[in-house]
Amino acid sequence: MTHGMVSAAQPEAVEAGLEALKAGGNAVDAAIATALVQTVVDPQMCGIAGFGSLHVYDPKRGIHECLDFHGRAPLATKPDMWEHLLIGESEDGFGFQLEGKVNEIGYGAITSPMTLRALDEALRRYGSRKLGDLLAPAIHYAEQGFMVRPHVAAYWAQVPTEGRAPHAEMLTTLPATRKIYAKPDGTLRKMGEVLKNADMGATLRRIRDHGVEDFYAGDIARRIAADMKANGGLISQADLADAKPETNPPLWGTYRGLPIATNRPPGGGLMLIEMLNILEHFDLKAMGHNSPGYIATVAEAMKIATVDKDAKVGDPRFVTVPLDELTSKAYAEPLAARIKRGEKTGVPRLKGKQKESADTTHVVAVDENGVIATMTHSLGTPSGVVTEGLGFMYNGAMAVFDPRPGRPGSLAPGKSRFSSLAPSIVFKDDKPFLAIGAPGGTYIAMGILQVMLNVIEFGMSAAEAVAAPRFNATSDTLDITNRILRSTETELKSRGYDVRRWPMNFHFAGVHAIRIVDGRLDGGADPGRDGMAMAV
Give a three-class secondary structure readout of 397-448: HHHHCECCCCCCCECCCCCECCCCCCCEEEEECCEEEEEEECCCHHHHHHHH
What secondary structure letter does DSSP report for 24?
T
> What pLDDT does residue 356 have?
46
Q: Closest Cα to residue 119, out of 46, 196, 41, 24?
A: 46
Per-residue pLDDT averaged across 81-88, rounded? 90
pLDDT at 31 over 60: yes
Query: Of 163, 158, 214, which Cα lies nearest the Cα of 44?
Result: 158
Q: How far is CA 76 from the centre of its chain?
A: 26
- CA quadruple 114, 116, 117, 120: dihedral sign: positive
Domain ranges of the chain: 23-49+64-242+379-400, 249-345+421-535
User: Which CATH number fits the domain 249-345+421-535, given the four candidates 3.40.50.140, 3.30.565.10, 3.40.980.10, 3.60.20.40?
Assistant: 3.60.20.40
Among 70-84, 95-109, 191-205, 361-375, name the one with the lowest average pLDDT: 95-109
The torsion angles phi and psi of 523, rounded to 5 degrees, stand at -120, 155
In this prediction, residue 1 carries a pLDDT of 47
In tens, the pLDDT along 372-420 reads 999 999 999 899 999 999 999 999 999 989 999 999 999 999 999 899 9
pLDDT value of residue 92 = 67
Average pLDDT, the chain: 94
Instruction: Identify the CA nearest to 72 among candidates 318, 429, 351.
Output: 318
Query: What's at 114, amino acid-wise?
Result: M
| pLDDT value, residue 354 | 47
Q: Residue 41 and residue 451: Cα distance in Å, rounded? A: 26
Q: CA dihedral in degrees (502, 506, 507, 510; nearest 10)?
A: -170
Q: Is the peptide bond before 266 cis (omega within 30 degrees of 0)?
A: yes
Give me the pLDDT at residue 99, please: 87
| pTM, to two decimals | 0.96
Most confident of 100-104, 138-142, 397-401: 138-142
Q: Active-site residue numbers?
A: 360
Quickly state the pLDDT bin for 87 (edges 50, 70, 90).
Answer: confident
165 pLDDT band, cuts 50/70/90, is low
